[in-house]
């Protein structure tokens, strides 16, 4: 995707990304994604992704990164959507982060479902151990733990491939008080690697109101990319309906999840 016009709102370095994906029933996803967004599928199949990584040098455009604040682990649960048959992007069910300040800023400024979590990552003898346990706000329990090894390089994913569908996403959607919003990031294509997961245990998918994943996940790894982040802007809702309807739709989804 082309770089947007204008100045980025901020800068981030995404490092040591582990992408895990499981096929998920379309009706289960439809029940927890606002109706104004269409589910994006690959060969008719929908997926939920869990992405574990580290954020570094997170900063607004007007400030350098600050040691102790700008670096932290993050864990995302997401699926893939588009609006009105265009604009393929990401819908986040949750984003857990190890810095409470980052959580508060992202919830207020980006209208994203960030949560504070206890998180750590350790690399030893070629094996990476990543762990996250949500603290607040709920729903809890919501934990993730994985052990994996990085494998052979794959390079950048070719357009049209499954790997490209999963990894190369440059738009995110968020439900704000002003209606459905879209944000954009810009970075070079991910340098991807194969990876082997020896162990994965998680409850973050079920905490999002989705069926617990079954079977082995599809696994990718990337050492990371440098990212420009652009401000949210209004997104046209599918079918020409007002974008504000997305907020009511999301509230209905959350109410149904709570009553279930």
Q: What is the dihedral of CA 79, 82, 87, 90, to 10 degrees?
A: -20
Phi, psi of 108 (to 5 degrees): -80, -45
Mean pLDDT of the region 82-104: 93
**pLDDT-based confidence at 87, cuts 50/70/90?**
confident
Q: Which residues, in sequence order, are bridge partners of residue 50? A: 20, 77
147, two tokens: 């052990």
pLDDT tens across 143-169, in order? 999 999 999 999 999 999 999 999 999
Structural domain spans, the chain: 10-259
Q: Is the Cβ–Cβ distance between 210 and 21 less than 8 Å? A: no
Report the run of H or E that residue 39 belongs to, with start and end.
strand 38-39
96, two tokens: 């857990």
10-259: CATH topology:
Acetoacetate decarboxylase-like (2.40.400)
For 259, counting Cβ atoms within 10 Å of its Cβ (0-12 exposed, 13-18 middle, 19+ buried), the class is exposed
Whether the pLDDT of residue 84 is over 90: the answer is no
Task: Give the residue from 79, 73, 86, 105 showing the smallest Cα distance to 229.
Answer: 105
What's the pLDDT at 240? 36
Greatest CA separation found in the chain?
54
Q: Is the Cβ–Cβ distance between 166 and 88 less than 8 Å? A: no
pLDDT tens across 11-69, in order? 999 999 999 999 999 999 999 999 999 999 999 999 999 999 999 999 987 776 766 78
Q: What distance in Å separates the CA atoms of residue 95 and residue 69, rounded to the nearest whole number?
A: 17
pLDDT tens across 224-253, in order? 999 999 999 998 633 333 333 333 444 444
Whether the pLDDT of residue 255 is over 50: the answer is no
Three-state DSSP class for residue 206: helix
């Amino acid at each position: 995707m082309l770089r947007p016009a204008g100045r980025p709102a901020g800068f981030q370095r995404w490092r040591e990304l582990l992408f895990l994906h499981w096929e998920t029933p379309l009706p289960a996803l439809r029940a927890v994604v606002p109706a104004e967004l269409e589910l994006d599928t690959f060969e008719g199949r929908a997926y939920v992704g869990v992405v574990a990584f580290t954020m570094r040098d997170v900063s607004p455009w007007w400030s350098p990164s600050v040691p102790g604040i700008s670096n932290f682990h993050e864990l995302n649960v997401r699926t893939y959507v588009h609006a009105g048959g265009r604009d393929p992007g990401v819908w986040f069910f949750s984003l857990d982060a190890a810095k409470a300040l980052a959580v508060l800023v992202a919830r207020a400024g980006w209208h994203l479902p960030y949560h504070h979590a206890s998180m750590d990552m350790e690399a030893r003898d070629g094996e990476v151990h990543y762990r996250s346990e949500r603290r607040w706000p709920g729903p809890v329990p919501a934990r993730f733990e994985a052990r994996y090894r990085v494998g052979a390089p794959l390079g950048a994913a070719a357009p049209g491939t499954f790997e490209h569908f999963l990894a190369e996403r440059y738009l995110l959607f968020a439900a704000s008080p002003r209606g459905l919003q879209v944000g954009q990031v810009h970075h070079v294509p991910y340098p991807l690697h194969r990876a082997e997961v020896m162990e994965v245990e998680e409850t973050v998918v079920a905490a999002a109101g989705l069926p617990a994943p079954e079977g082995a996940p599809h696994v990718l790894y990337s050492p990371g990319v440098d990212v420009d982040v652009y401000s949210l802007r209004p997104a046209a809702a599918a079918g020409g309906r007002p974008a504000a309807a997305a907020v009511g739709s999301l509230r209905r989804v959350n109410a149904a999840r709570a009553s279930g």
